[in-house]
Chains A and B, each alone.
Chain A
Amino acid sequence: MPEDFLPIAVLIILATGLSFTILLLGQIFGPRRPNPRKGSPYESGMRPYGKGQRRVPIHYYLIAVLFILFDVEIIFILPWAVVLRDLGIFGLIEMGLFVAILLIGFVYAWKKGALEWD
């Protein structure tokens, strides 16, 4: 069994070896003439402004957390959609209940103002 993995091992060794060799060659032969222009962050040709690490409004985190919560529910909906025809009306009612419970959470978040931007 282990010998089946030999090609993978060869590939890993070749890939790492090659990338290190190229980096090494660049280090040895490449000219190094740093200037402030080169050191500045690349912003698609625009002149960069402000600091690289800006503070993000705390509100983004709230939206992100809400996104995680509602996003993950897809994993229940997707398999359900695949077998919907076999489940029939019963499956539809079940999913209706599930979405209703999600909606309760949504209504709560909405009413609490978690979705307002200011």
Chain B
Amino acid sequence: MTTADLNVALPFIIVAAWACILLVIDLFIPADRKGLTALLAVAGMGFASIPVLLRFEESNRAFNGMIVQDGFSSFLQLLLLGVGVISVALAYDYLQRRKIVKGEYYTLLLFSVSGMVLMAQAGDLIIVFLALELLSVPLYVLSGFAAKSNPESEEAAMKYFLLGAFASGFIVYGIALVYGATGTTEIEAIHNVLISGVSNLGLLTVGAVLILVGLGFKVAVVPFHMWTPDVYDGAPSSVTALMSVGAKAGGFAALLRLFLAGFPEIAANLAPILVGVAALTLIWGNIAAIAQQNIKRMMAYSSISHAGYIFMMLPAIVDSDIAPDAISAALFYLFVYAVSNLGAWGVILALERADGGGLSIDDYAGLGERNPGLALAMALFMLSLIGVPPTAGFIGKFFLFRVVLDANMIGLALVGVITSLISAYYYLRVVVVMYMRSGDPQVRSERWLNATLWLTALGTFLLGIFPGPLLNLASRTGLFGLVP
């Protein structure tokens, strides 16, 4: 180990060390001053983004290839740190309203973000596993954060924990089989062994499928999505916001890197299954969302369907000509989805009442009259999630579909477009209820929440009109480092 090694892993080290220190500092912060803990958590993530920005375009390997740094990891790390900061801003007022203010919330959040940041840099299956656990375990606890006053939160935590641990079991066994077939756990070395000929291809394929199943649970694709609506519904909304973006981005980081840099040949063999999973996820996520009356459950199914859109990139990376485009489209879409989705969750948080009410879609009636700004923001987020121009979601989906068409998967593209049309029904229903029906929604207005809403709304709008710089960044990062 050298200082150069530590230097490459610096973003993760900063977040993790900061989380440890904050755990102790928080013990000495009085209960009515927990805002300070939140501020310190944000500062930690801010520090961690400095080395990411300074070395954005570099490609490095550290710890004998266990930790890698490339454009892919830098892009995702920046996104994940941003998501972490926004979730702190979303949580600050929400925790006070629900009377669950505890410094541990921010510490756990920081630990979870450190896991996500590590996942973006994972160059070895051991690190993939450790990062995944570091990402999930704090989220299990956070889901149960409101357990004292709300039994549903406890139940959500239990379900999330049992299914998450179940998924980890699959991943560990998959890693064991991959190790047995190739004799290594380093992702690039696996590929080298694969090119020079593996004696036991069957073992490797089974291992890859088991890892796929485990990560499929984590990113919630059909048929491994059963836990999503219950957990998203029961967990405190501020945690759900983090879960729906951060945990998914972390899971996809591992999936994309593994299937592109590790075993693209296996992915080619599995292409029909991958296409099937993507199509099923799109269809089931969008159709089940229609029936939901509770906005948190609707957003849960919506998050499943968006996982499906990103999952379409997995069968596409098989073709090495299309792979760079597929990676950059996935990265861009993750970014756009994060911005719009966090914004939508911000509006949900603003309308949720202290007793946990205000979560039915009917509670949004009259928002257009009472609070035009908030209603406009919500309409913008909904349009972006459908993918209507000129919002950011449209650009994101456009590039995803173009990659799918380039890869000659016309059937899958058709399913994607049709399900996007179906999704318009349930997203627009929220908009219709807001503007066409009268009611008296209680809206919470708070500094940090409003700032977040402004930021995400502006982001959704501007990325729709000027997608160039971000798209350029995503496509440049897709081109170096990851693609062999």
Binding site for B on A (CB under 8 A): 90, 101, 104, 107-108, 111-112
Contact = CB atoms under 8 A, between A and B. Distances in A.
Nearest to A108: B23
Nearest to B107: A108
7 contacts: A90-B1, A101-B20, A104-B21, A104-B24, A107-B24, A108-B23, A112-B27
A90 B5 CA distance: 15
Interface of B: 1, 20-21, 23-24, 27
Label chain A's interface by main secondary structure: helix
A112 B1 CA distance: 36
A104 B21 CA distance: 8
A62 to B, nearest CB: 15
Contacts of A111: 27
A104 B27 CA distance: 11
A90 B3 CA distance: 13
Contacts of B20: 101, 104
Contacts of A107: 24, 27
Contacts of B1: 90
B110 to A, nearest CB: 13
A101 B18 CA distance: 12
A60 to B, nearest CB: 21
A84 B23 CA distance: 31
Contacts of B23: 104, 108
Given A90-B1, A101-B20, A104-B21, 10 more contacts: A104-B20, A104-B23, A104-B24, A107-B24, A107-B27, A108-B23, A108-B24, A108-B27, A111-B27, A112-B27
Contacts of A90: 1
Contacts of B24: 104, 107-108
A112 B21 CA distance: 16
Nearest to A104: B20
A111 B21 CA distance: 14
Nearest to B17: A101
A20 to B, nearest CB: 36
A117 B468 CA distance: 62
Nearest to A111: B27
A56 B20 CA distance: 33
A3 B288 CA distance: 58
B25 to A, nearest CB: 11
